[in-house]
């Protein structure tokens, strides 16, 4: 059983309401989420692992298993089209028709911190892949 990512459904509206009036780039995290699922659907799990945040990729596999093997075993997807993107600082939530992902912006771009996420009411999201 994977741990639950600590992003509360109550935290997101508060973080999103604290806008500074600047235009927020929602396209970049959406593209990163779609690239992750494109790699999975093409059975290129190694490429999908490269799109995960380092800590997420390290924590995903069980002992004696590679990141790619762990993603193959999870069988995430299909994700579908982007339906919503929310960005607050260096964090983003990308909702696809079939999944919700959390991403973080690093110096080299957006990387997936959590995928296969479903809301758990007032509790944090329950994610198949997370850090």
The predicted-structure confidence for 41-74, as pLDDT tens digits, reads as follows 999 999 999 999 999 999 999 998 999 999 999 9
Length of the chain: 131
Q: How far is residue 19 CA from its own chain's centroid?
A: 22
| Residue-range domain boundaries for the chain | 11-15+26-129
Q: What's the pTM?
A: 0.80
pLDDT in tens, 80-122: 899 999 999 999 999 999 999 999 999 999 999 999 998 888 7
d(CA 105, CA 59): 19
What is the architecture of the domain spanning 11-15+26-129?
Roll (3.10)
Residue 18, Cβ density class (10 Å: 0-12 exposed, 13-18 middle, ≥19 buried): exposed
Token pair recorded at residue 51: 């799109």
């Amino acid at each position: 059983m994977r741990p639950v990512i600590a992003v509360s459904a109550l935290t997101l509206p508060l973080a999103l309401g604290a806008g500074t009036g600047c235009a927020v780039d929602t396209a970049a995290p959406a593209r990163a989420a779609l690239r992750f699922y494109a790699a999975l659907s093409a059975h290129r799990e190694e490429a999908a692992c490269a799109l995960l945040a380092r800590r997420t990729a390290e924590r995903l596999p069980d002992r004696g298993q590679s990141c790619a093997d762990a993603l193959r075993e999870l069988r995430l997807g299909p994700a579908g089209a982007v339906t919503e993107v929310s960005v607050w600082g260096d964090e983003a939530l990308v909702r696809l028709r079939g999944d919700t992902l959390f991403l973080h912006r690093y110096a080299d771009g957006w990387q997936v911190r959590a995928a296969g996420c479903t809301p758990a009411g007032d509790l944090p999201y329950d994610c198949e892949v997370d850090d």
